[in-house]
Amino acid sequence: MEPQPLTFKEIQCKTALVKCNIPGIDYVINPYMGCRFGCAYCYASFMGRFIEGVTVKDWGNYVYAKTNIADVLEKELPKKLKNKGAGKEVFLSSVTDPYQGMEVKYKLTRQCLVKLADYGFEGTLSILTKSKLVTRDIDVLKRFKHPSVGLTVTSTDDKISRYFEKYAPNVNERFEALRELNSHGIKTYAFVGPLLPHFVANANELEKIFIKLKEIGTRDIFVEHLNLSRYIKERLFEEIDLDQKELTKKFYDSQSKEYRTELDKIVKALVKKYDMRLLLDIVIFHKEFGDAQIKTSIPKPA
């Protein structure tokens, strides 16, 4: 698939550490607006509603680099993270991938990590990415007391992942990134999500992910059901041949309680079989993720 033209801008931000409403996370840092990886299922495509000249459907075709974010972060740290941030969690990133291609040139994520490390941040630093570029910053990650790095994996088959993750790195590169991080003693987790609809009919495809994670030494996992909110569905179905009625039906079925219950059973059986730790002890469903029982006490990757 030929890449679509990219709209790129350098911009200035007013704040770097933003309070986060994701349960268990205190602050988030998003060094970029937009994400070149352009995954069809990404919830963050909603950002197109708030950017002039951009729509939800443009996700993947624009990236804005917040070139002053590290300097802004440095000024905010003493005010927002008192006591060196002990007991707090900072997450990179919630609405972008902190290690997308522009990070090679701009190093905004690395600059932010260095500012946090120089400040002596004592809380949990959590990173989620689809890129092996995160391994470039192992030297900085080792300076933190509680670093935790996650890689998103939705399949072990690049043909499947490429179908929905247009410009994201190959899945094999993500597994290798986890392996390298583990070899350096950095805590890792896998974000297995969204669970694509073919997993119910082909449970062995999901098991391949567990086998691979076991092999490379990543034990902690988050697992999430597919979010088929209207704005996501519109983008997602542009990637699907709607004449394939059986496939389309699977996507709709993925939102039913019966479907999710069946998939939950498959996931929990694999967690037990491969001695994994299912973080939150549930398979996340976005419509229920804000419920009180989830907000209480979220375990950190061990």
Please provide the average confidence, as pLDDT, over all residues in the chain.
86
pLDDT at position 116, please? 98
The residue ranking higher by pLDDT, 246 or 176, is 176
**Cα separation of 217 and 285, whole Å?**
26
Q: How confident is the model at residue 259 (pLDDT cuts 50, 70, 90)?
A: confident
Determine the distance from the C-alpha atom of residue 281 to the mean position of all C-alpha atoms in its chain, rounded to a whole number: 18
pLDDT at position 205, please? 83
Asked if residues 98 and 32 have their Cβ atoms less than 8 Å apart, the reply is: yes
CB within 8 Å of 245: residues ≥ 6 apart? none
Rounded mean pLDDT of 11-23? Answer: 92
**Cα separation of 124 and 159, whole Å?**
35
pLDDT at position 285, please? 80
Report yes or no on whether pTM surpasses 0.85: yes
pLDDT at position 201, please? 57
Tell me the pLDDT tens digit for each residue of 189-228.
999 988 876 665 566 888 999 999 999 999 999 999 877 7
Angular region, 186: left φ>0, alpha ψ -120 to 50, beta rest: beta
**Cα separation of 163 and 237, whole Å?**
12
Q: How confident is the model at residue 10 (pLDDT cuts 50, 70, 90)?
A: very high
Instruction: Kindly report which listed range (117-121, 179-183, 281-285) carries the lowest average pLDDT score.
Output: 281-285
- Whether the pLDDT of residue 150 is over 90: the answer is yes
Q: Where are the beta strands (DSSP E) in the chain?
A: 7-11, 18-19, 27-28, 32-33, 62-66, 89-92, 124-129, 146-152, 187-195, 220-225, 277-278
Instruction: Kindly report which listed range (16-30, 151-165, 241-255, 265-279) carries the lowest average pLDDT score.
Output: 241-255
- Kindly write down the DSSP assignment for every residue of 35-53, as one continuous string: -TT--TT-GGGGGGGSSTT
Any idea which fold 7-295 has? Answer: TIM Barrel (3.20.20)
Of the candidates 126, 216, 136, 234, the residue with the CA atom closest to the CA atom of residue 171:
216
pLDDT at position 70, please? 98
pLDDT at position 199, please? 64
Q: Could you tell me the sign of the dihedral formed by the alpha carbons of 175, 177, 183, 189, in that order?
A: negative
The residue ranking higher by pLDDT, 296 or 116, is 116
pLDDT at position 102, please? 96
How large a percentage of the chain has pLDDT more than 90? 58
Q: How confident is the model at residue 291 (pLDDT cuts 50, 70, 90)?
A: very low
